[in-house]
């Protein structure tokens, strides 16, 4: 029986070897619009990994459409660099295209040299807080022409196709949406008028590239914007795009300012496939589903069940460039799954840095972080089986060292098992499993329930040691902290201890918020129960919503800082804070805990004391480094590296990357 994921497909006259499509993702790896070595290396690895088609970008159509970190397509001077990238992708087995886009009101004067962003109407952007310039008709016509000329450059550079971005809150979707288009001329007003700009862009591009050059559009299946285009509008727009000569549609979701989470861990895998299906039922051209597709079985089922013709696998190919080849060759168990954390991809973009990956320390460093085999294999002891220890052990073994990993507990995983405990964070358990498989494949000897001591080191006589002993939860010096109903968040997350109905959590950082949400969901409807009651009309939508978000516990979070969750990444924090409100978690920020009694917690906030009833008190005030072996190892004169929380408590991203560096560089 053939594998639907690896059946070829034809778009216009372009044959694609499989159904895995890598969508355009801003990587911030271009240099002043030019194609960099780093960008080429990144895409070469994904082409070698077996993707059927790779779309790069987005690329600019003029200097107001993006910034110098984008790939440039607005001048002929960029064609040689584009040609180099096209050849690199083609020579490594994949089809290639470039996504063209204009940011519209999402651009920022900080990135445009002080030039005012443009839009169909002068409505301020919620992202930039800036008011754009309202385009005149001659300016609109000029932008349409620039899209066409940029597409010409893409074809001349040797790419196999071109894609137009017509969603996500950028310029074309700003024209399409009644939320941002208040014009009364032919480019505004009714649906026909709002469609005009996008359809004229398509017509102009088609007139330049010809009828046989594949033309794709990436568009929203739903904007998730109150007062914006409806789902029905977007389905009709898809029909009009097909009639205008578009050869395939890639369906994404939401604008950047939409309040529905789209790409973070809590978003169920493949949940937005229904949007691709809704459009596929209206058009005859290939439809590509996207968002949170990080597993081959899910991808196969979406194709087999008629949701789509292809799957857009984006950040999952950052995490594992060989995802397609592993799936094709029967090695799916070796895939490193994207956990949708956003720590290295989206959060880096907010910091004006190039994209990296929590799960894959080599992403964006394909050349400089390649692991070569050592000529002098050593006996390496790794102490600690958390993210840092497993990453270090796998990297050291890949170099050719003989590696033994000691873990004091009965399972590898460390704090990843805590990170994956709250609802919607289960992908971190997948990462723990992926790292365990990497350790196993690399040939590392794993010793569980093993406490490394002076005598252990004396007996083993390793040539080098990597200390990844992790961290321990902090117990603050608060009166009453030793009472029996006071417990650590780590024990709550791993369900080692019960909690009462009224729970006060001391500490509103990431661990405190995750613990609060875990407890707040106790007693809510499961997804299975919710579907049953909904399908059978047992309760109204309002009642079901309440039953899905109101649990059986009263949870209050106390935080000394002015804001909660400050150590979450930016792409994760806003959704977590929404959930805090949605699930009824109460909070007191800028508050100091004065004491704990048998039935309450006393806090001081704004100069006033308050007593908060509590049946259970949970401590989530931070982590301290746990590194009991460094002095012992040093006394033996054994070379060593300290990594992860044993060095300095930080995020999972840091643990994985530091561990990889330690394993790659030791010896």
Task: For 509-551, write each residue's pLDDT tens digit.
Answer: 999 999 999 999 999 999 999 999 999 999 999 999 999 999 9
**What's the angle, vertex CA 293, arms to CA 529 and CA 198, rounded to 5?**
110
The pair of structure tokens assigned to 12 is: 């216009």
Helices and strands in the chain: count of H runs, count of E runs: 22, 28
* DSSP for residue 567: T
Binning pLDDT at 50, 70 and 90, where does residue 310 land?
Answer: very high
Instruction: Tell whether the model's pLDDT for residue 438 goes beyond 80.
Output: yes
Residue 626: predicted pLDDT: 96
- Judge if 273 and 340 occupy the same domain: yes
Q: Is residue 586 part of a domain?
A: yes
- Return the CATH number at 580: 3.50.50.60
645: enclosing H helix or E strand: none
**What's the angle, vertex CA 16, arms to CA 10 and CA 22, rounded to 5?**
120
* DSSP for residue 295: -
- Judge if 448 and 542 occupy the same domain: no
Instruction: Tell whether the model's pLDDT for residue 352 goes beyond 90.
Output: no
Q: Which domain holds residue 89?
A: 4-350
The pair of structure tokens assigned to 629 is: 């072996």
- Judge if 84 and 229 occupy the same domain: yes
- Judge if 608 and 646 occupy the same domain: no
Residue 105: predicted pLDDT: 94
- Judge if 199 and 345 occupy the same domain: yes
Please state the domain count of the chain. 3
Q: Which residues contact 201 (CB under 8 A, 6 or more apart)?
A: 144, 147, 148, 164, 166, 172
pLDDT digits (tens, 9 = 90+) for 395-405: 999 999 999 99
Q: Is the C-alpha dihedral spanning 341, 345, 346, 350 positive or negative?
A: positive
Q: Is residue 464 part of a domain?
A: yes
The pair of structure tokens assigned to 84 is: 């180099």
Residue 461: predicted pLDDT: 84
Share of the chain above pLDDT 90, in %: 90
Residue 80: predicted pLDDT: 97
Q: Which of 223, 202, 227 is nearest to 213 (CA)?
A: 202
Find out whether the peptide bond into 58 is cis, omega within 30 degrees of 0: yes
Listed residues 331, 350, 369: the one ending a domain: 350
Residue 128: predicted pLDDT: 87
- Judge if 91 and 170 occupy the same domain: yes
Binning pLDDT at 50, 70 and 90, where does residue 581 land?
Answer: very high
Mean pLDDT across the stretch 637-656?
A: 95
- Judge if 461 and 556 occupy the same domain: no
Mean pLDDT across the stretch 376-380?
A: 96
What DSSP string runs through 122-162? ----TTT--PPEEPPHHHHHHHHHHHHHHHHHHHHTT-SEE
* DSSP for residue 104: G
Q: Is residue 565 part of a domain?
A: yes
Q: Is residue 368 part of a domain?
A: no
Q: Is residue 613 part of a domain?
A: yes
- Judge if 451 and 524 occupy the same domain: no
- Judge if 458 and 490 occupy the same domain: no
- Judge if 394 and 507 occupy the same domain: no
pLDDT digits (tens, 9 = 90+) for 289-300: 999 999 999 999
Q: Is residue 361 part of a domain?
A: no
- Return the CATH number at 60: 3.20.20.70
- Judge if 259 and 166 occupy the same domain: yes
pLDDT digits (tens, 9 = 90+) for 104-130: 999 988 888 889 999 999 999 888 889
- Phi, psi at residue 422, to the nearest 5°? -65, 155
Residue 50: predicted pLDDT: 98
Instruction: Tell whether the model's pLDDT for residue 210 goes beyond 80.
Output: yes
- Judge if 105 and 196 occupy the same domain: yes
Mean pLDDT across the stretch 408-431?
A: 92
Instruction: Tell whether the model's pLDDT for residue 156 goes beyond 80.
Output: yes
Of residues 99 and 454, more confidence is placed in 99
Q: Which residues contact 349 (CB under 8 A, 6 or more apart)?
A: 26, 28, 355
Instruction: Tell whether the model's pLDDT for residue 269 goes beyond 90.
Output: yes
Distance CA 34, CA 80 (A): 9
Distance CA 577, CA 205 (A): 43
Mean pLDDT across the stretch 547-559?
A: 96
> What average pLDDT does the chain have?
95
Give pairs for 635-639: CB < 8 Å, separation 24+: 636/457, 636/458, 638/457, 638/462, 638/463, 638/464, 638/465, 639/463, 639/464, 639/465, 639/666, 639/667
């Amino acid at each position: 029986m053939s594998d639907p994921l690896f059946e070829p497909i034809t778009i216009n006259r372009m044959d694609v070897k499989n159904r895995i499509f890598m969508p355009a993702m801003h990587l911030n790896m271009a240099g002043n619009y030019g194609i960099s070595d780093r960008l080429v290396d990144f895409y070469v690895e994904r082409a070698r990994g077996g993707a059927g088609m790779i779309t790069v970008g987005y690329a600019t159509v003029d200097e107001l459409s993006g910034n110098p970190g984008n790939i440039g397509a607005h001048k002929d001077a960029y064609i040689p660099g584009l040609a180099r990238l096209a050849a690199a992708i083609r020579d490594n087995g994949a089809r290639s295209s470039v996504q063209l886009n204009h940011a519209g009101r999402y651009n920022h004067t900080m990135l445009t040299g002080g030039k005012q962003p443009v839009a169909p109407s002068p409505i301020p952007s919620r992202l930039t807080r800036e008011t754009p310039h309202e385009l005149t008709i001659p300016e609109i016509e000029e932008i349409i022409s620039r899209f066409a000329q940029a597409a010409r450059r893409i074809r001349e550079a040797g790419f196999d196709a071109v894609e137009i971005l017509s969603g996500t809150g950028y310029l074309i979707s700003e024209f399409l949406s009644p939320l941002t288009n208040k014009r009364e001329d032919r480019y505004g007003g009714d649906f026909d008028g709002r469609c005009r700009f996008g359809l004229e862009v398509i017509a102009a591009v088609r007139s330049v590239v010809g009828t046989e050059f594949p033309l794709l559009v990436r568009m929203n299946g739903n904007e998730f914007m109150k007062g914006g285009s409806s789902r029905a509008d977007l389905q009709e727009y898809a029909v009009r795009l097909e009639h205008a000569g578009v050869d395939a549609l890639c369906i994404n979701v939401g604008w950047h300012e939409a309040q529905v989470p789209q790409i973070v861990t809590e978003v169920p895998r493949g949940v937005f496939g229904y949007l691709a299906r809704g459009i596929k039922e209206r058009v005859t051209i290939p439809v590509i589903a996207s968002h949170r597709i990080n597993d081959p079985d899910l991808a196969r089922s979406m194709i087999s069940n008629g949701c789509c013709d292809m799957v857009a696998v984006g950040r999952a190919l950052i995490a594992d460039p060989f995802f397609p080849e592993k799936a094709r060759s029967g090695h799916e168990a070796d895939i490193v799954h994207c956990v949708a954390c956003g720590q290295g991809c989206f959060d880096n973009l907010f910091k004006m840095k190039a994209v990296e990956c929590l799960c894959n320390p080599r992403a964006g460093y394909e050349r400089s972080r390649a692991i070569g085999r050592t000529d002098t294999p050593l006996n390496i002891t790794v102490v600690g089986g958390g993210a840092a220890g497993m990453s270090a052990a796998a990297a050291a073994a890949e170099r050719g060292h003989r590696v033994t990993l000691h873990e004091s507990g009965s399972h590898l995983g460390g704090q990843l098992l805590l990170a994956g405990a709250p609802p919607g964070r289960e992908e971190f358990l997948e990462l723990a499993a992926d790292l365990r498989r990497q350790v196993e494949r690399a040939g590392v000897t794993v010793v569980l329930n093993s406490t490394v001591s002076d005598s252990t080191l004396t007996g083993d006589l390793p040539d080098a040691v990597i200390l990844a002993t992790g961290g321990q939860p902090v117990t603050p010096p608060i009166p009453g902290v030793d009472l029996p109903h006071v417990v650590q968040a780590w024990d709550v997350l791993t369900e080692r201890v019960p909690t009462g109905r009224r729970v006060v959590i001391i500490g509103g950082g990431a661990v405190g918020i995750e613990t609060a949400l875990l407890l707040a969901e106790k007693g809510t409807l499961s997804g299975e129960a919710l579907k049953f009651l909904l399908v059978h009309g047992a309760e109204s939508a309002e009642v079901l919503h309440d039953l899905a978000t109101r649990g059986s516990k009263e949870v209050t979070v106390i935080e000394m800082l002015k804001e909660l969750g400050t150590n979450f990444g930016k792409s994760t924090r806003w959704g977590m804070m929404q959930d805090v409100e949605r699930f009824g978690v109460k909070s007191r920020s800028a508050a100091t805990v004065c004491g704990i009694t048998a039935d309450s917690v006393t806090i001081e906030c704004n100069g006033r004391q308050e007593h908060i009833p509590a049946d259970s008190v949970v401590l989530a005030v931070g982590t301290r480094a746990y590194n009991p072996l460094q002095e012992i190892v040093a006394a033996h004169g054994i070379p060593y590296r300290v990594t992860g929380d044993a060095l300095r408590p930080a995020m999972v991203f840091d643990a994985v990357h530091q561990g990889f560096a330690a394993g790659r560089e030791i010896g």
